[in-house]
Amino acid sequence: MPSLIDFRRRIRSVKNTQQITKAMKMVSAAKLRRAQEAVLAARPFANMLGQMLGNVARAAAGSDAVKELPLLQPRETVKTAVMILVSADRGLAGAFNSNVNRGAQKFIQDQPGVTFEIESVGKKGRDYFRRRGFAISGDHQNFSRKPVYADVAAVAAKVSQRYAAGEIDAVYVAYNEFKSVMTQRLQVEQVLPVPLTESADTTEYIYEQPAEVLLASLLPRYVEVELWRSVLESTASEHAARMTAMDAASRNASEVIERVTLQMNRVRQASITREIIEVVSGASALK
Amino acid sequence: MAATFELEVATPDRLLVREQVTDAEAPGRNGYLGILPDHAPLLTELAPGVLTYTTSGGKRSVVVGGGWMEVLPTGVRVLATVAENPNEIDLKRAQAALDRAEQRLKESGEMDIPRALAAAERARARVAAAAQFGR
């Protein structure tokens, strides 16, 4: 039977943990708001750029100069591919990290015969894949604290260059898409060769510059912006996941405290009752 | 009320303008372009410069640091790599950047000339816009 002191200790320890989880929840909530604004602000540009790219590519389809653009050329056989894995640098965010890690791993396993390299954004993803013996072609950290466009653009430039040089045959990105505070969904998207959306709509454009010149400048930017959006989505998802996880943990702690307090009171009551019985029986024995 | 079209100016980190306008003038790579309602679909690269447009509230302008413009039947979309309202520009900083870029161009050597040229162009657009519209 644990003594009263044991109960008090237990309660104090759970309370301390609860204070930490509460603080982390508050911090995440504040960061989430900023991250959420950043995602919402970045979406229009990414969408518009994708549409513009699709329009130009459609209108200019068939031209040989366009087919020769390295970032558009698909490979006949894909042997090596790069998976850009956007995870968090820290844990304690519920299923956030294991979600991307496992999702990306499944995606890789579904493509036997393709050697994947991991270009990791975030420490947790890197650790996971390094333990499993994958080649890590790049390791980037501290993106999610305050995402900087230039950092992300550097990663985009690196993979684009490797793709154009023929070192790699495809590039994918895996990240948690920010649906809402409660839901984040895993996304695995193809980055290179740049996927073009098919549509019957063909608008005839007046080109100030030849289509291939426009495409040549749009494509690298598109890769950058896709990655930028992934990083922002992931950042917002990370804070949302952490906030939800910490909220659950705080609530759980309250439950534990309640239960232990109840047990403690019962034990205390029992000992008081026992003492009274002892006193009473002692007194009656004297009569 | 004259005919209007929708003008959107977006940068990778924000949507700067989404308004009904009666006309717009954009710094195309091959020179400034005026856009009026019902313009034919057009695509162009933009050079660093000042984009001016007219809303019901009068003439406005934003500085763009290069990008692309797409004229669609439904409106005009400007995707700028960087864009700012003139009153957001730090004139001193822009002037300093311009001086620095020009200095680099003079020294040349094995410097990255296209990059320095682009920087100078951007800085010049900012300075011009700040002097003309700011404050």
Residue A30 confidence (pLDDT): 92
Contact between B13 and A218 using a beta-carbon 8 Å cutoff:
no
Q: Running DSSP on this structure, what letter comes out for residue B84?
A: E
Query: Which residues of B fall within a CB distance of 8 Å from A224?
Result: 12
Where do we find the tokens 């309250």?
A254
Gap from A105 CA to chain B (nearest CA, Å): 30
Contact between A218 and B68 using a beta-carbon 8 Å cutoff:
yes
- Region A218-227: mean pLDDT is 89
Query: Highest-confidence range of A51-55, A125-129, A132-136, B12-16, by mean pLDDT?
Result: A125-129
Contact between A208 and B29 using a beta-carbon 8 Å cutoff:
yes
pLDDT tens by residue, A2-51? 788 889 999 999 999 999 999 999 999 999 999 998 888 888 888 888 88
Say if residue B20 is in the same domain as residue B52: yes
Contact between B40 and A206 using a beta-carbon 8 Å cutoff:
yes
Q: Is B34 on the interface with A (CB under 8 A)?
A: no
Say if residue B98 is in the same domain as residue B47: no
Option in A38, A52, A204 nearest B68 (CB): A52
Residue of B nearest to A221 (CA): B81
Residue A134 confidence (pLDDT): 85
Say if residue B63 is in the same domain as residue B26: yes
In chain A the domains, ranked by start, together with CATH numbers, are 4-22+245-286 (1.10.287.80), 31-244 (3.40.1380.10)
Residue A203 confidence (pLDDT): 65
Interface of B with A in 61-100 (CB under 8 A): 68, 70, 72-73, 77, 79, 81
Q: Is B31 on the interface with A (CB under 8 A)?
A: no
The domain spanning residue B57 has which CATH number?
2.60.15.10
CB-CB neighbours of A91 under 10 Å: 14
Say if residue B15 is in the same domain as residue B68: yes
Query: Which residues of B fall within a CB distance of 8 Å from A217?
Result: 45, 68
Say if residue B25 is in the same domain as residue B53: yes
pLDDT at A249 over 90: yes
Say if residue B74 is in the same domain as residue B101: no
Residue where a domain stops, chosen among B84, B104, B122 = B84
Option in A42, A207, A217 nearest B12 (CB): A42
CB-CB neighbours of A282 under 10 Å: 9
Contact between A48 and B42 using a beta-carbon 8 Å cutoff:
no
Mean pLDDT, rounded, of chain A? 86
Which of A45, A148, A218, A227 to substitute to test the interface with B, most B CBs within 10 Å? Answer: A45
Whether ipTM tops 0.95, in short, is no
Which of A52, A56, A201, A208 to substitute to test the interface with B, most B CBs within 10 Å? Answer: A208
Contact between A204 and B73 using a beta-carbon 8 Å cutoff:
no
Question: Where does the pLDDT of residue A199 fall: very low under 50, low under 70, confident under 90, or very high at 90 and above?
Answer: low
Query: Which residues of B fall within a CB distance of 8 Å from A146?
Result: none
b (16+ CB within 10 A) / e for B43-64: bbbbbbbbbbbbbeeeebebbb
Where do we find the tokens 């602000």?
A41
Say if residue B113 is in the same domain as residue B65: no
Say if residue B123 is in the same domain as residue B80: no
Amino acid identity of residue A7, one-letter, is: F
What's the domain range around B64?
A: 5-84
Residue of A nearest to B45 (CA): A214
pLDDT tens by residue, B21-60? 888 888 888 888 888 888 888 888 888 888 888 888 888 8
| Nearest alpha carbon to residue B41 among B75, B4, B88, B81 | B75
Q: Is A136 helix (H, G, I), strand (E, B) or coil?
A: strand
b (16+ CB within 10 A) / e for A52-86: bbbbbbbbbeeeeebeebebbeeeeeeebbbbbbb
Say if residue B80 is in the same domain as residue B105: no
Say if residue B68 is in the same domain as residue B109: no
CA B89 to chain centre: 13
pLDDT tens by residue, B53-91? 888 888 888 888 888 888 888 888 888 888 887 777 766
Say if residue B10 is in the same domain as residue B49: yes
The count of structural domains within chain B is 2
The domain spanning residue B118 has which CATH number?
1.20.5
The DSSP result for A24-88, as a single string, is HHHHHHHHHHHHHHHHHHHHHHHHHHHHHHHHHHHHTTT-HHHHT-TTTPPPSS--EEEEEEE--
Contact between B79 and A52 using a beta-carbon 8 Å cutoff:
yes
Say if residue B56 is in the same domain as residue B118: no
Option in A205, A208, A228 nearest B12 (CB): A228
Amino acid identity of residue A204, one-letter, is: E
Question: Where does the pLDDT of residue A202 fall: very low under 50, low under 70, confident under 90, or very high at 90 and above?
Answer: low
pTM: 0.82
pLDDT tens by residue, A159-171? 888 888 888 888 9
- Quote the tokens at residue A76: 């006949």
Option in A48, A203, A228 nearest B79 (CB): A48
Question: Where does the pLDDT of residue A218 fall: very low under 50, low under 70, confident under 90, or very high at 90 and above?
Answer: confident
